[in-house]
Structure 1
Amino acid sequence: MADCSDLAFKSFCDLANFVKHTEKVEFVVAILALLMNIPHLFILTRTSMRTHSTNSLMIGISIADLISLFMMINNRAQLYWLSPNTCFNSYTYPLNVARFVQDVSWESMMRVSFYLGLCLALIRCIIMKMSGNAPDILSTTRNGYFLTLFFIFVNTLISCFYYYGFRVIKYKEPWTPGVNCTGFPAKYREPYFYRAPKKNQLFTSERYEIFTGCSDILIAALYPIFGLLLMLEVLKSAKVAATMLSKKDAVERYHTSRMILVMTIFYIFASFPTGAYKIVNFFFYESWRKDGYFYVVFTYTGKIFTSLFCGNALSHCLINLSMSRNYRNAVMELGCCPKRKAEVTMDSKSVNS
């Protein structure tokens, strides 16, 4: 272990201390995103908002974000407060099983959020491209709910298949409380468990990393394509709105599509670095592990990319509030303007037609 008092290792220690702060940034952003997504989901589930597949997909995205953010915060809380506590055995059998549930939920829901965001851009692009001739199934709320359940099922199944290749093993040495801990009987001991891969594990960590990395890269590659197509349709819709005698419906379609375009751009920044990181991790992890300097940088760089996902989840409420009139009407209806309920309902029927 490098001695930070040695000038030869001073730059290394400064770097290590700096990159460790990325965990705190990730933790804070995740908490803010969780707090913002709770009222965001509540607003999206109002009757006036549940009128189109766009809204039902955003409900699915919000649910996936809430689950992954909660699991992420729970994981960090354990690392910060439970694991360093010498008076608490944080590796009991139930806690190890709970970590399996936590990891499966965290990873699968992150992928679900990315896939639903992609569907959001694709469906909106098709509806605008066909200009009223799109199949009704694309615009129904049931379509959004079906896609949400489908991606949750598939991604959870993939994560479960991977973590099924692990088992919880009892460590040969029992856990004992620290010397400064009080309230324990003399010579108190508890079983100590840890996670280990099975010998016949089919879906190894390396294969899982390459799979999830390629999945993130594919999503990140498709986002700009759909985003560009959607941008062209948004510009076309703006011209149509400017020439129509009755602009209301065209303007609403333009605003909704522009909002989805902004969400697509945020998804691009959140998905591509994560996928690239996993691919690089697969090919260079062993060689970089031998170099302590690069190992520290590489390990904590992943925390920054996770923070990007948290920032993307945080942005959804703000984007909807600033760019969707129907969303703002729903907020006012809940807050101080219940008399506008009829107006909100009428607007919601045309907002995504």
Structure 2
Amino acid sequence: MSAGGIGNDSKSIQEVGEVVSGIGAQVHQVNFVLSCFSIVINFFHLLILSRKSMKTSSTNVILIGLSISDTFIMLTTVYKHYLVTDLENSDCVTADSRWKVYLDLSVWAIQTIFRRCGCWLGVLMATVRYVIVKKLSTSRFGNWSTPSTGWIMVLVVFCISGVQTIIYQSRWMVVENRSVPLPVNCAEYQNIHSTPQFSVMLTPFFSFNDQVVLRSYLMFDAIVTKFIPCFAFPILTISLVRVLRKMKEATENSGRKISVSGEEKKDLTTKLIVVMTIAFFITEAPLGMIYLVKVFYDRNDPISILSTDFVVYFSMLVTINSIGHPISCVMMSSQYRDTIRRMCGVKSNTKMSSARNKTSVVSVQGIQMT
């Protein structure tokens, strides 16, 4: 391709980037408002899930971990909106004091930790649900449904994500009165030709040989955090639905007095997993592609800058997902609604509760989770 053709392509990408960035400024405002609402609704969501009547299964405990992740993601989003110079790039962190730079980097790290946790906790919830239903008659899988198993899984995910993020954050060193300009991708929010008192630069270990170490990490993180969950989630969900369908057919053929369809209608876990699978794939798969762009293109390349501008759009979808989790619980779970009534001092309809109990003569561990 001729130099003129490459130049025209770069100019076209820049023009598209200007449009995307201009709209993105309004999306940032909307995302901020939605994040504030998400913090409030997830606070009450976490309060409800923490009640003794809700902490009865591993999947409900994993939901607590998801709610914690959603809350911290939204808190860091609000912080970045008000107190961080650049909303989209951690390599553009600048400040007038060293402690502020470290604080901003910590906020970026916290958001990264819990974004990764949210991805894997959703996959774990689908995995646990599938194992419980698939291995229903195997006693050694019985402890998978216990709350203690859920707590262990949540703790392991948080720890692994934390260690991985610490390694990633070690790529930065804080410099004072830098001698080189800020990266081109910082131009949207600040003057890259100015000399901030404190800023960040890549350490020699991550920057040598055309940033081969950093690119390798980003490739690994994209595969582990984005693409594997994006494939695992729908596979587990489809497998879970098929197993439940077979259980229903087998029960109907045996003539046992149990309403599997009734259980399935009231089952928060299965329905929530289906909803989360769709939302997760729409949100995380494009973010994985953006990760790969950073692997193969320099951060000052127009394509890399354009892909970063798209992050805010998918970040808003993450915010919408965090709002959708509590709403889904209210709509799908009778146990969740009953817990809200008890918290508000409202007595549940005893006739309805009795009717529900009669509908399901047999309650199987790991299925009745609502």
Q: Report the TM range for the smaller structure's normalisation.
A: 0.7 to 0.9
Residue 46 of structure 1 pairs with residue 51 of structure 2: yes
Which digits, 9 at most, give the CA deviation of each residue in 1:190-235, with x for residues without a partner?
x922122222348944233222211211111111111111221333
2:183 corresponds in structure 1 to: none
SS of 1:196's equivalent in the other structure is strand
Aligned 8 A contact 1:252 1:352 in 2: no
Alpha-carbon distance, 1:317 to partner: 0.3
Aligned 8 A contact 2:290 2:308 in 1: no
CA distance in 1, matches of 2:250, 2:272: 18
1:177 corresponds in structure 2 to: none
Aligned 8 A contact 2:178 2:199 in 1: no
SS of 1:29's equivalent in the other structure is helix
- Which is further off, 252-261 or 144-153? 252-261
1:206 corresponds in structure 2 to: 215
One-letter code aligned to 1:265: I
1:129 corresponds in structure 2 to: 134
Residue 351 of structure 1 pairs with residue 329 of structure 2: no
The verdict on how the C-alpha distance between 1:290 and 1:195 changes in structure 2, with shifts beyond 3 A counting, is closer
1:26 corresponds in structure 2 to: 31
CA distance in 2, matches of 1:304, 1:51: 36
1:235 corresponds in structure 2 to: 245
Which digits, 9 at most, give the CA deviation of each residue in 1:73-98, with x for residues without a partner?
2112224799xxxxxx9431111111
CA distance in 2, matches of 1:241, 1:254: 17
One-letter code aligned to 2:335: N
1:263 corresponds to which of 271, 276, 287: 276
Aligned 8 A contact 2:98 2:198 in 1: yes
2:233 corresponds to which of 180, 200, 223: 223
2:162 corresponds in structure 1 to: 156
The verdict on how the C-alpha distance between 1:290 and 1:268 changes in structure 2, with shifts beyond 3 A counting, is closer
Alpha-carbon distance, 1:253 to partner: 8.0
CA distance in 2, matches of 1:295, 1:310: 23
- Which is further off, 142-151 or 266-275? 266-275
Alpha-carbon distance, 1:270 to partner: 2.3
2:324 corresponds in structure 1 to: 315
Aligned 8 A contact 1:44 1:50 in 2: yes
CA distance in 2, matches of 1:319, 1:26: 20
SS of 2:205's equivalent in the other structure is coil
For normalisation by structure 2, the TM-score amounts to 0.75
Aligned 8 A contact 1:249 1:351 in 2: no
2:146 corresponds in structure 1 to: 140
For normalisation by structure 1, the TM-score amounts to 0.78
Residue 276 of structure 1 pairs with residue 289 of structure 2: yes
CA distance in 1, matches of 2:233, 2:247: 20
Over aligned residue pairs, what C-alpha RMSD do you find?
Answer: 3.4
The verdict on how the C-alpha distance between 1:224 and 1:351 changes in structure 2, with shifts beyond 3 A counting, is same
Which digits, 9 at most, give the CA deviation of each residue in 1:74-133, with x for residues without a partner?
112224799xxxxxx943111111122212211011101110100100110111122343
1:187 corresponds in structure 2 to: none
1:247 corresponds in structure 2 to: 259
CA distance in 1, matches of 2:137, 2:347: 32
One-letter code aligned to 1:198: T
SS of 2:126's equivalent in the other structure is helix
Aligned length: 316
SS of 1:116's equivalent in the other structure is helix
Aligned 8 A contact 2:293 2:307 in 1: no
2:186 corresponds in structure 1 to: none
The 5 A counterparts of 1:83-94 are 90-94=95-99
Aligned 8 A contact 1:71 1:102 in 2: yes
2:116 corresponds to which of 86, 100, 111: 111
The verdict on how the C-alpha distance between 1:29 and 1:285 changes in structure 2, with shifts beyond 3 A counting, is farther
The verdict on how the C-alpha distance between 1:80 and 1:329 changes in structure 2, with shifts beyond 3 A counting, is farther
Aligned 8 A contact 1:108 1:155 in 2: yes
- Which is further off, 28-37 or 231-240? 231-240
Aligned 8 A contact 1:50 1:56 in 2: yes
Aligned 8 A contact 1:332 1:338 in 2: yes
One-letter code aligned to 1:280: V
Q: Which consecutive residues of structure 1, in runs of 5 or more, have no partner in the other structure?
A: 1-8, 83-88, 174-190
One-letter code aligned to 1:266: A
Aligned 8 A contact 2:341 2:348 in 1: no
Which digits, 9 at most, give the CA deviation of each residue in 1:176-202, with x for residues without a partner?
xxxxxxxxxxxxxxx922122222348
Q: Which consecutive residues of structure 2, in runs of 5 or more, have no partner in the other structure?
A: 1-13, 88-93, 180-195, 358-362
SS of 1:36's equivalent in the other structure is helix
Aligned 8 A contact 1:231 1:258 in 2: no
- Which is further off, 327-336 or 226-235? 226-235
Percent pairwise identity:
19
CA distance in 1, matches of 2:319, 2:280: 11
